Amino acid sequence: MEVNAAEDLAIASRILSDQGVFDAAGHVSMRDPHHADRFLMSRSLAPALVTADDVMAFTLDCEPCDPRGRTPFIERYLHGGIYRRRPDVMAVAHGHTPSVVPFGLVGTPMVATYHNAAFLAAGVPVFDIRATFGMTDIVISSAERGAALAEALGDKAVLLLRAHGFVAVGPSLPAAVFRAIFTEISARVQLQAVTLGGSIAALELDEGRLADAINLATVGRSWEFWKRRVTP
């Protein structure tokens, strides 16, 4: 495992806490930059507390490569399922922010309310664990559940989990963090637009594609700012 990767991943975890996407729970992972068949993820720990030492490496079967007595998150199968199915994905964030959970509970589709949420314009599917697994504890705690979730995600950037939360993925760690943050903010914007009433002139598909390219090109500016808030 690369030292810099573990350090960046710990920073990402603390950024998502600091920005209100994670609370006492939530986890973010990244594909190992030197081993495409592995991913890195914190041990089971509140995301605000994660440091590089807490980062573990896993195979795509979600087996720890070097446990050293550390307890992994049960939901690592959510991450593993996505890395297995989506070679383009380099990072995955999973949270339960109060503004996003509602969209997994009702029929209203999420839209891309503004340029920063451009990645939503391609559509946001909903994964209802009942469809395949019936009555469960909701947790993505097996390879089967992880695979079903990854299938529901398809080629999209964000997936809603009914009565659970959401997943945001990206072609880089800063991109996945950016998308998780603006999924939360766009959800708030859409809730308020719905309150105002009438149709919502969200980004069209082509606008979303064009604006997303700009976001990916300039995400470093946001990352540096967020990082500064969570590093001593």
Query: Could you give the string, one character per residue 84-123, with x where binding to its own copies holds by CB under 8 A and - elsewhere?
Result: ------------x-xx-xxxxxxxx---xxxxx-x-----
Q: Does 21 bind its own copies (CB under 8 A)?
A: no
The interface region with its own copies, picked from 28-36, 54-62, 85-93, 220-228 by CB under 8 A, is 220-228
CB of 221 to its own copies, least distance (A): 6
Q: Which position among 139, 142, 156, 230 is part of the footprint of its own copies (CB under 8 A)?
A: 139
Q: Does 196 bind its own copies (CB under 8 A)?
A: yes
CA–CA gap between residue 176 and residue 182 (Å, rounded): 10
Q: Does 221 bind its own copies (CB under 8 A)?
A: yes
Name which of residues 22 to 81 contact its own copies (CB under 8 A).
23-25, 44-46, 48-49
Catalytic residue among 63, 75, 151, 184: 75
CB of 64 to its own copies, least distance (A): 18
Q: Does 198 bind its own copies (CB under 8 A)?
A: yes
Q: Is 75 a catalytic residue?
A: yes
Task: Print the SS3 string covering the chain.
Answer: CCHHHHHHHHHHHHHHHHCCCCCCCCEEEEEECCEEEEEEEEECCCHHHCCHHHEEEEECCCCECCCCCCCECCCHHHHHHHHHHCCCCCEEEEECCCCCHHHHCCCCCCCCCCHHHHHHCCCCCEECCHHHHCCCCCCCCCHHHHHHHHHHHCCCCEEEECCCEEEEEECCHHHHHHHHHHHHHHHHHHHHHHHHCCCCCCCCHHHHHHHHHHHHHHHHHHHHHHHHHHCC
Token pair for 31: 């594909």
CB of 138 to its own copies, least distance (A): 4
List active site positions: 75
Interface positions with its own copies (CB under 8 A): 23-25, 44-46, 48-49, 96, 98-99, 101-108, 112-116, 118, 128, 130, 135-139, 162-165, 185, 188-204, 206-207, 210-211, 213-214, 218, 221-222, 224-226, 228
